[in-house]
Amino acid sequence: MEVIEKQTENSLQEKLISLVDKISIASVQDKKNLIKKNDFLLLLQNKDLIFDYTRNKANQIRQENFSNKIYIRALIEISNYCKNACFYCGINCKNQNIQRYRLSTEQIMECCKTAYELGFRTFVLQGGEDIFFTDEIICKLIKSIKEKYPDCAITLSLGEKSKESYALYKQAGADRYLLREETANSEHYQKLHPKNMNHKNRLECLRSLKNLGFQTGAGFMVGSPFQTLDDIAQDLCFIQSLKPEMVGIGPFIPHEQTEFAKFPSGDLNLTLFILSLIRIMFPKVLLPATTALSSINPEGRILGILSGANVVMPNVSPMEQRKNYALYNNKASVNEESAEGLILLQKQLDKINCKIDFSRGDYQQ
Ligand code: 5AD
């Protein structure tokens, strides 16, 4: 009996290996052979059988494309005001228990200065959907940063806007935009968001960003409430067809003042496995080892890189405000000075023979 079980396991493993290889081959054949949802699902269902193989392949592909370089991005959390009430997010507008803040233009410029002096050449402006930041203010800000730091890239992560607004940001000089789809399944989307938020609109935003020529980032949380492996397979298909230049994947982590407070965090290994699949699917993609990943495991960053990630986004927001930008609890590096954080990062990278790359690190075809 045991022998038969072992044989079945072996033949399943062979099938899984050939599937992972198929993803890799499809990635160099200009996506003519799209991977089917059921194939992704089979991999996800049997990840333990194929985990090491997938991770090694992803890590190898990362090295072939980026050698030992890890890109860094200076993350500036410009506002924790948000007009939305996403059920999972700690800065949702219903949360009365946080101190709200928004950085002034001067404060944001000061963050850029600190970051620039540390060697960063990408600034990521991230915030809740704060109506104070009108298109005019955002465009002015982009222009000021670009004028002062013409050699730097600007990434925005400011949520859903109209196509016209995105176009204005592009014109003003923004280079990249991060907007996770959160889930590719519209029914699942509705379990994570209030009725006034619309899945179709979110996906349209992503298409607009791509069409406008932004280096565009999509992605989702792993282990968000009600998510099934089938949903994740659907996200992988969605990402496969969108072909984003960046993909943000991190575990869901509960925030105590949200209605999802009692849900468990997303699984570390499942997150790492998905990072690897993404790297294999898109050898050149910009793939961060996210803060959420570091937050569920002290080695999260390193494990992320060894699974195919090639970007880290250290926080350079003003110290006084860090704790208030809590999308989830127990967020990593909240009390770490920017300079200190960078030294720590280099130390971590030394152990795996990687080093910080101080260039802009744009997506290369
Ligand atoms: N856990 C993990 N990630 C979260 N995000 C928001 N709330 C949480 C949470 N509780 C992620 C979302 C969003 C990104 C900025 O942060 O995916 O797109």
The answer, yes or no, to whether any atom of ligand 1 lies below 6 A from the CB of 89, is yes
Query: Residue 267 has what DSSP assignment?
Result: P
Dist. CA 89 → ligand 1 center (Å): 6
The whole-chain average pLDDT of the chain stands at: 96
pLDDT at 2 over 80: no
Confidence (pLDDT) at 63: 98
The answer, yes or no, to whether any atom of ligand 1 lies below 6 A from the CB of 221, is yes
pLDDT at 134 over 90: yes
Q: For the segment 154-195, what is each residue's pLDDT rounded down to a tens digit? A: 999 999 999 999 999 999 999 999 999 999 999 999 999 999
Q: Which atom of ligand 1 has the smallest separation from the CA of 265?
A: 1
> Among 80, 87, 221, 296, which is best to mutate for testing ligand 1, by the most ligand atoms less than 8 A from CB?
221
Count CA atoms within 13 Å of residue 115 on its CB side.
Answer: 32
Cα distance between residue 254 and residue 174, in whole Å: 32
The answer, yes or no, to whether any atom of ligand 1 lies below 6 A from the CB of 292, is yes
Mean pLDDT value of segment 304-322? 96
**Which CATH number is 37-357 given?**
3.20.20.70
Q: For the segment 77-101, what is each residue's pLDDT rounded down to a tens digit? A: 999 999 999 999 999 999 999 999 9
pLDDT at 360 over 60: yes
Q: For the segment 24-80, what is each residue's pLDDT rounded down to a tens digit? A: 998 877 656 789 999 999 999 999 999 999 999 999 999 999 999 999 999 999 999
Q: For the segment 7-23, what is each residue's pLDDT rounded down to a tens digit? A: 888 899 999 999 999 99
pLDDT at 299 over 70: yes
Mean pLDDT value of segment 290-310? 97
Mapped onto helix, strand or coil, the DSSP state of residue 23 is helix
Dist. CA 224 → ligand 1 center (Å): 9
Q: Which atom of ligand 1 has the smallest separation from the CA of 89?
A: 7
The answer, yes or no, to whether any atom of ligand 1 lies below 6 A from the CB of 255, is yes
Q: Tell me how far apart the 2 most distant CA atoms of the chain are, in Å.
A: 71
Dist. CA 182 → ligand 1 center (Å): 8
Confidence (pLDDT) at 6: 82
Q: Which atom of ligand 1 has the smallest separation from the CA of 251?
A: 2
pTM of structure: 0.97
**Considering only 1-15, 63-77, 96-110, 315-329, which range has the smallest mean pLDDT?**
1-15
The answer, yes or no, to whether any atom of ligand 1 lies below 6 A from the CB of 327, is yes
The answer, yes or no, to whether any atom of ligand 1 lies below 6 A from the CB of 205, is no
Do 247 and 184 contact (CB within 8 A), yes or no? no
Domain boundaries, the chain: 37-357
Confidence (pLDDT) at 34: 87
The answer, yes or no, to whether any atom of ligand 1 lies below 6 A from the CB of 328, is yes
pLDDT at 125 over 90: yes
Do 291 and 253 contact (CB within 8 A), yes or no? no
Cα distance between residue 47 and residue 51, in whole Å: 5
Helix (H) / strand (E) element for 123: namely strand 122-127
Confidence (pLDDT) at 339: 86
Q: For the segment 214-270, what is each residue's pLDDT rounded down to a tens digit? A: 999 999 999 999 999 999 999 999 999 999 999 999 999 999 999 999 999 999 999
Confidence (pLDDT) at 32: 64
Confidence (pLDDT) at 5: 81
Dist. CA 275 → ligand 1 center (Å): 16
Placement of tokens 């607009």 in the chain:
208
Total number of residues shown for the chain: 365
